[in-house]
């Protein structure tokens, strides 16, 4: 089942985001692109928060955030309760992020991966389902910590 993808980037991730969004649309994915539309310098948290808020509002959607390294986007997005954003630069990590961590936002670096590696990493993320089981127990601990209840 193809889920909705909500994508955003800063100037450092614009080119990779544009390439991946175009490819997603060619493959029939429903994509909501919240920006940016140029390589003009912007503040990445603005776009990380926008994608994160939309993912929380639509739990069936998955997010894609791209900056220069993916790190800043991940840090910012993870400040939003309910977001599990992970930086991945290859398909194995993105598969495991979905399978074991139920990651709902994939962050990548436009200065780290090219379009083909970015596509294979994103495809693995989108095609993998959460396993649940023992992994759900661990996510419940993380969710409790978000609410201030550290174990």
Residues recognised as catalytic:
67, 100
Q: Report helix, strand or coil for 114.
A: coil
101: which 2 tokens? 């961590």
122: which 2 tokens? 């994103």
Q: Report helix, strand or coil for 118.
A: helix
Backbone dihedral angles phi then psi of residue 102, each to the nearest 5 degrees: 50, 40
Q: Report helix, strand or coil for 66.
A: strand
Q: At what angle do helices 134-146 and 91-101 cross, to 10 degrees?
A: 80
Backbone dihedral angles phi then psi of residue 5, each to the nearest 5 degrees: -120, 125
Distance (Å, rounded) from C-alpha 31 to C-alpha 3? 9
């Amino acid at each position: 089942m193809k889920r909705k993808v909500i994508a955003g980037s800063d100037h450092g991730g614009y080119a990779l985001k544009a390439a991946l969004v175009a490819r997603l649309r060619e493959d029939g994915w429903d994509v909501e692109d919240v920006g940016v539309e140029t390589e003009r310098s912007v503040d990445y948290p603005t776009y990380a928060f926008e994608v994160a808020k939309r993912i929380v509002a639509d739990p069936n959607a998955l997010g894609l955030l791209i900056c220069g390294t993916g790190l800043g986007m991940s840090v910012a997005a993870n400040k939003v309760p309910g977001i599990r954003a992970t930086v991945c630069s290859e398909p194995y990590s993105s598969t495991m992020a979905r399978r074991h961590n139920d990651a709902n936002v994939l962050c990548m670096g436009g200065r780290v991966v090219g379009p083909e590696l970015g596509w294979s990493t994103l495809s693995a993320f989108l095609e993998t389902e959460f396993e649940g089981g023992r992994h759900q127990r661990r996510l419940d601990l993380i969710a409790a910590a978000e609410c201030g209840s550290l174990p």
